[in-house]
Amino acid sequence: MIEGVQIIDYNWRYVYVNDSLVADSKYSREELVGYTMMEKYPGIENTEMFTLLKECMIERKKGFIENEFTFPNGSIEFFELSIQPVPEGVFILSLNITDRKKALAQLAASEVKFRSLFENNNDIVTMLDTDLNIIYRSPSATRLLGWTDEDMLGIRGIDNIHPIDRIIFNGCINDIKKNPGVPFDICFRMKHKLGHYLIIDGSINNLLEDENIQAIVFNFRDVTEKKKAADELVASERQYSNLIDRISDGFMSLDNDLRITYVNSVAEKMFDTPSGYLTGKKLYEEYSRGIDSVIYNSIVESLKTKKPKRVDTFSDVFQKWIIGSIYPSSTGLTCFFRDNTEYKKMEQELQEQQHQEQSKLISATLEAQEKERNAIGIELHDNVNQILVGTTMFLSMLKKKPEKDDELITECIDHIKQAINENRKIAHILVSPDMGNKHLTEQISSLSGNMLQANGIKTIANFDDYNNRLLSKDMKVALYRIVQEQFTNIIKYAEAKEVNIKLETTNKLLRMRIADNGKGMDGDTFTHGIGLRNIGSRLSVFGGDMKVKTSSGKGFELVVEIPLS
């Protein structure tokens, strides 16, 4: 793609950039991914672009902006940015338009230079502000149309357009405003001061953002004498029909009585009607079943209040999810609709999938908790409780035979110390590791000493390629629990003499390998163990995965991988 693509997470970190974005950013991919926007571009949080990003991030609103961006080295470039929310955070599609901006600046300078030519040209140049009010007319406009500049005071530039042509013009003015610097061909009827209409032909160009012009520029000429009125009307209607039919959305225009004046082919297909069938019909008569619908009520409200409306609803009439925009004008309404059914289906499927994954995760968590409770109960009953029972017996003997007090007291003290040690072991298993004061590698080393080496199992650890800063606290705790789970499995089942542990990280991946030289197991057995299911559930939270390699008599190897971007 020539467009730059970037995905920003909820912490404002780059999680994905394509080659075009890397080329535009002045950084390498490695210098972007994993870092925040503020780290790479100090002060970006104070820009209009960042305000739009926050609206998208927080309110999940789509946005579009043409942005002037100043890089840390002082260079300035211009971009068109399309911003929309995605599950990961914000998706930004950018197009570098610096060359276009330079071209427009040159064009503006050229227009200033040759303005005197416009003043004496038979072609008409009219400049409008963003509300379509006239701010400049070339002298040829008065000669051609009869209206003086005083006649045009308080009149918008489109008010003298033929009413039928004005409906079509209103339908495409938003596209013209959204595409600055892109000329649009035009051909419509313009009213002369004497009352008759002239057919004019030319172009319209949105140059509001050009600092030398700051206007929407009409450039047109009278072509009435070149064509007959009937032929010109057909050609004009065909031209604008083709223009609207090229729009990907369904397009419909209505007059102030809600009579349908135009429908493009996309809308006819969406509403399942034959070509030309709807034109001339009243909306409330043709779709009487939908009078109480969200779409109909929005159309009526927009017509009444003269304010644009946005709809996103399921239509019982058409049995589709429809998203659209309604724009009022003095002559009626212009409506754009899109069939959003497939997107809604995918959204619902994604929600269902997420619900199922959440249910699996909760089930695995509850199963793991039940296992931990059971293990603690066994430890308390078989170890701590038995030690305390023995201590009670010694104390009873001491009460009956005081002459053995020294020997029995010593035995009681030893038993109590054993109970304390057992309680410490249980507490050590339950309490979360202190990742703030100890690195994960130190915690794993301590764990291997307390569990493996205490049971006569040699441990070989390799942490040379591990970077502790690349992992979040939650990741470190999850890895600690996974190691604890696997050490427990090794002690209980492996009959191993040696365990190898390797922890390594790259910019994109964490990889941990735990391998023992024990008796192993066949491939159909290990997949049903609750311990491995517990490990799998912990990894799923971070999008991680695990692989197991084992066979009878060949030891057991567990490999865990977690993406870091």
Q: Determine how β-strand 458-462 pairs with β-strand 498-505.
A: parallel
- Asked whether residue 490 falls in the same domain as residue 418, the answer is no
Q: Are residues 476 and 561 in the same domain?
A: yes
- Select from 371, 403, 431 the last residue of a domain: 431
Cβ–Cβ contacts within 10 Å for residue 52, how many?
20
Verify that 498 and 442 share a domain, yes or no. yes
CA dihedral 139, 141, 142, 148 (to 10 degrees): -90
| Domain end among 431, 465, 484 | 431
Domain finish residue from 245, 270, 304: 245
Indicate whether 143 and 219 sit together in one domain: yes
The confidence score (pLDDT) of residue 202 equals: 86
Alpha-carbon radius of gyration of the chain: 37
Task: Report whether pLDDT(532) > 90.
Answer: no
Q: Number of structural domains, the chain?
A: 5
> Could you give the angle at the alpha carbon of 286 between the alpha carbons of 282 and 291, nearest 5°?
90
Cα–Cα dist 474/435, whole Å: 9
pLDDT of residue 400: 66
Backbone angles phi, psi at 138, to 5 degrees: -70, 150
pLDDT tens digits, residue range 83-107?
999 999 999 999 999 988 888 888 8
CA–CA separation, 80 and 63 (whole Å) = 11
Same domain flag for 240 and 357: no
- What is the C-alpha to C-alpha distance for residues 230 and 117, in angstroms, rounded to an integer? 33
Q: Are 487 and 444 in contact (CB under 8 A)?
A: no
The predicted model gives 36-44 an average pLDDT of 92
Domain limits for position 286: 250-339
Backbone angles phi, psi at 79, to 5 degrees: -140, 145
pLDDT surpasses 80 at 363: no
In this structure, the answer to whether residues 359 and 241 fall within a common structural domain is: no
Residue 122 has pLDDT above 90, yes or no: no
Of all residues in the chain, what percent carry a pLDDT higher than 90?
27
pTM over 0.75: no
Query: Rounded to an integer, what distance in angstroms lies between the CA atom of residue 373 and that of residue 378?
Result: 9
For the record, the structure tokens of 272 come out as 């399942």
* Statement to judge: residues 84 and 136 lie in one domain: no
- Say what the pLDDT of residue 255 is: 92
pLDDT class for 221, splitting at 50, 70, 90? confident
pLDDT at residue 240 in the model: 63
Query: Residue 143, CB half-sphere, CA atoms under 13 Å: how many?
Result: 12
329 in the same domain as 228: no
Kindly state whether residues 237 and 115 are assigned to the same domain.
yes
My answer on whether 118 and 232 are in the same domain is: yes
CA-to-CA distance for 368 and 305, rounded, in angstroms?
60
CATH code at position 485: 3.30.565.10
Number of H helices and E strands in the chain, helices first, is 18, 20
Q: Measuring CA to CA, how many Å separate 259 from each of 170, 189, 521?
A: 16, 22, 77
SS3 559: strand
When comparing pLDDT for 526 and 514, which is higher?
514
3-state secondary structure of 337: strand
Q: 353 and 386 share a domain?
A: yes
Tell me if 537 sits within 8 A of 524, measured CB to CB: no
Closest CA to 207 of 290, 301, 106: 106
**What CA–CA distance (Å, rounded) separates 220 from 124?**
5
Any idea which of 293-302, 316-325, 461-470, 523-532 has the lowest mean pLDDT?
Answer: 523-532
Better-predicted residue by pLDDT, 229 or 323 = 323
pLDDT digits (tens, 9 = 90+) for 392-441: 666 666 666 666 566 666 767 776 776 666 666 655 555 556 666 778 89
Name the residue among 161, 326, 203 with its Cα closest to residue 258: 326
For residues 506 and 34, the answer to whether their CB atoms sit within 8 Å is no
pLDDT tens, residue by residue, 366-398: 566 656 666 665 665 556 666 666 676 666 666
Q: What is the mean pLDDT of residues 168-185?
A: 85
What SS3 string covers 12-80?
Answer: CEEEEECHHHHHHHCCCHHHHECCEHHHHCCCHHHCHHHHHHHHHHHHCCCEEEEEEEECCCCCEEEEE
- For the ranges 49-53, 124-128, 202-206, 242-246, the lowest mean pLDDT is seen at 242-246
Supply the mean pLDDT for the chain: 83
CATH code of the domain in which 54 resides: 3.30.450.20
Are 321 and 344 a contacting pair, CB within 8 Å?
yes
**Tens-digit pLDDT profile for residues 246-262:** 677 888 889 999 999 88
Q: Read off the pLDDT of each residue in 500-506 and give the average, rounded to a whole number.
A: 94
Does 324 share its domain with 379? Answer: no
CA–CA dist 397, 249 (Å, integer): 93
